[in-house]
Structure 1
């Protein structure tokens, strides 16, 4: 009698957050615009703000200010960053939404035995707050924000900090993201990288086999039939 056993291509998957699992750009833009308008600087569209997301909060503010020709000295950026993060922390997920099928696919991956981790350039406390509001924090074995790692993305030490917390040394795992920052981070860590096909992920150059139409495609079931 033949029996079938099933194994996964990866024992664990680590995900980026913003732009990969959730569309948080509207809340980020709203928090930034409160800061900009209070200082009599021009408010920006969500599409404009989205171009600067990926390198962390300070880089977001700095690069936006440079693009607008606003003062970008350390003192100005420090003050603007603090105000932006205060605004964001008050309403971190009012406008944030999951990308289609993301929540159900995360649950399906975990239910079939794949462990999940999160590597985000959001500050740790803010990331946990957003995940708590969205009701998915419990799905992840490890969540590591930018200020909870030795360095932040694109430094691979950030991604490896997640792997270390999950004890993934020597085990098959991969990273999933939506930006060149994520791709560079995975390359530095020496792990496979998959780009999502929504949002800014469409602009990341990867092989067709490394582009995801759905997160559930990563269940990677390999069937091996064995004779009793």
Structure 2
């Protein structure tokens, strides 16, 4: 990266928080109510990352459920209603993440959030976890015209934070995040938890914890 690092933009689900239990509960409630078999959390977790409609579509394909537009629309409404009813009851911040975010902010780095979770749900989850005040900007999937993996999503967060190219990096845990960063032309760092272990990056872009990013602030501009 060139220039001075001024900010870090993060993915949310699987990167900062383990929200899979609440997402799975919302999906499984609909499946149970419509007499379809429920799925283990780790199965549903593998479908998280592209936003709620794609989540439902992939779950339906996995179990052989009809996935015409009308069926997806009904299931999506039910899923979102279920999720809104309990958006963070089982969700936890990953170990050391909150303290590391505080360390990064204390070092002068501004923090942003780019997530494919619905925008309104993002705010509710952040509020429930006491994280809302950490971020200068947070944009969910439906707050932009093109969500991840489209780079416009990342650019929209950077623009909201008034960042210039070379002043920020993106941190995530999936190939979706990696593709968005690549399209945006921004360095991508992957966490070791969530889906991070399955993402292929050079060793210097694989974090052990978020505080590792402090090393970037000590590099001389190139």
TM bucket by the smaller chain? over 0.9
CA distance in 1, matches of 2:151, 2:23: 25
Q: Structure 1 runs of 4+ off > 6 angstroms?
A: none
Partner of 1:193: 188
CA distance in 1, matches of 2:81, 2:5: 38
Partner of 1:46: 41
CA distance in 2, matches of 1:223, 1:131: 32
Partner of 1:182: 177
2:80 to 77, 80, 85: 85
Aligned-residue offset at 1:67: 1.2
Flag structure 2 segments of 5+ consecutive residues without an equivalent.
none
Higher strand share: 1
2:131 to 127, 130, 136: 136
User: 5 Å matches for 1:183-222?
Assistant: 183-220=178-215, 221-222=217-218
Partner of 1:145: 140
User: 5 Å matches for 1:83-162?
Assistant: 83-162=78-157
Aligned-residue offset at 1:130: 0.1
Q: State the secondary structure of the residue aligned to 1:126.
A: helix
CA distance in 2, matches of 1:160, 1:68: 36
Count of aligned residue pairs for this structure pair = 217
CA distance in 2, matches of 1:137, 1:28: 20
TM-score, with structure 1 as normaliser: 0.93
TM-score, with structure 2 as normaliser: 0.95
Aligned-residue offset at 1:169: 1.9
CA distance in 1, matches of 2:82, 2:123: 16
